[in-house]
Amino acid sequence: MTAPALPQPRGDLSAAVITALSGGDTAPDSTLPPTVDPYGDDLQLALYVLYELHYRGFEGVPDELEWDPGLLAVRRALERPFLAALRRDVPPGTSAQEALDALLVEPVGHDDSSVSHHLQRDGELWQLTEYAALRSLYHLKEADPHAWVIPRLRGRAKAGMVAVEFDEFGAGRPEEIHARLYADLMDDLGLDTTYGHYLDRAPAVALATVNLMSLFGLHRALRGALVGHFATVEVTSSPGSRRMAAALRRTGAGKAAQRFYDEHVEADAVHEQVVRRDVVGGLLADEPHLEADIAFGVHATGLLEDRFGAQVLKAWRQQHSALRTLPQDGTERKPS
């Protein structure tokens, strides 16, 4: 399995991390400047790179750096402002049930703030292709971040979580693993299916949605928030996937591209019930003190998805690319 290349830095923080991973002699300083933007490109890329050490790593980076104390200290320093900003910006005081119930309310008619609504009705093939490239940072490792929570659950919550993850990982069939199906979707759209290929093209709003899963998954103290995130994904997936499948059919994308979302329409309608009843319900029965964390996970997911959608739609409505333009790349539209 070939690991991806390290990305290009986007500021002092990410440059220090990437230099250290590239064999630099000096460990990064874990003291952050007080003006660092918790949602900005520099912090989010630095955090993403450090999280990737727990997944597939990077080409030329020794595996033992995954647990390097200096790098872990830097990661913790980066996590603190990100988590503090999320806690500051999410709505306070709702129960887990109220947070999840709100997700079940589908808008009447067209929702101008929704990427999937836009793609279903007005999206062009190049926009669907860009969307697929951006989402590949998660979908090519789909379900991996959520698997971190399994050893931290027990009883009904663990059984429900494993049942859903079993489907995500192909129910024993490697060709049906959802990450494999997503690679097929990308191939239909003419995209490079190499893991991590579009990292340099992904803006901070896309990195943050993936970093959130790793933040929650890698901390046992945030297991309730991870369950909230997982529940949000499963509750919202089926209607969103139905719109994406319709968009792909309308624009003439290939059958493999359509199949990825068709699979999620059916599977996630079932998963939603299991997650709400067994995973969330089981965790609340076992550890009722985690209810606020579950609600926080739901709201934090919504916050970052809203930020992602707003930036992407703003670019597309101006007929601009939502991808970052690299210094040596003058193209504005088609991802490469």
- Each residue's pLDDT expressed in tens, for the chain with a length of 336 residues: 689 999 999 999 999 999 999 987 667 877 888 889 999 999 999 999 999 999 999 999 999 999 999 999 999 999 999 999 999 999 888 899 999 999 887 776 788 889 999 999 999 999 999 999 999 999 999 999 999 999 999 999 999 999 999 999 999 999 999 999 999 999 999 999 999 999 999 999 999 999 999 999 999 999 999 999 999 999 988 889 999 999 999 999 988 888 999 888 877 677 888 999 999 999 999 999 999 999 999 999 999 999 999 999 999 999 999 999 886 654 444 554
Alpha helices by DSSP H, listed for the chain, are: 12-21, 41-52, 69-89, 96-103, 115-121, 125-139, 144-147, 155-168, 178-188, 204-217, 223-250, 255-274, 281-286, 291-317
What is the reported pLDDT for 328? 64
d(CA 299, CA 316): 26
Q: What are phi and psi of 29, to 5 degrees?
A: -75, 130
Whether the Cβ atoms of residue 275 and residue 103 lie closer than 8 Å to each other: no
The predicted pLDDT at position 186 comes to 96
C-alpha span between 221 and 290 (Å, rounded):
10
Provide DSSP, 7-35: PPP-SHHHHHHHHHHTT-SSPPP-PPPTT
**Domain coordinates of the chain in residue numbers?**
12-88, 94-318
CB atoms inside a 10 Å sphere around CB 257 = 28
Distance CA 44, CA 55 (A): 17
Phi and psi at 90, nearest 5°, equal: -85, 155
Residue with tokens 């129910």: 171
**What pLDDT, in 10s, does the model give residues 114-160?**
999 999 999 999 999 999 999 999 999 999 999 999 999 999 999 99
pLDDT number for residue 263 = 85
Alpha-carbon gap, residue 122 to 285, rounded angstroms: 44
Length of the chain: 336
Res 132: pLDDT: 97
Q: Is the pTM of this model over 0.75?
A: yes
CATH number of 94-318: 1.20.910.10
Q: CB–CB of 115/321 below 8 Å?
A: no
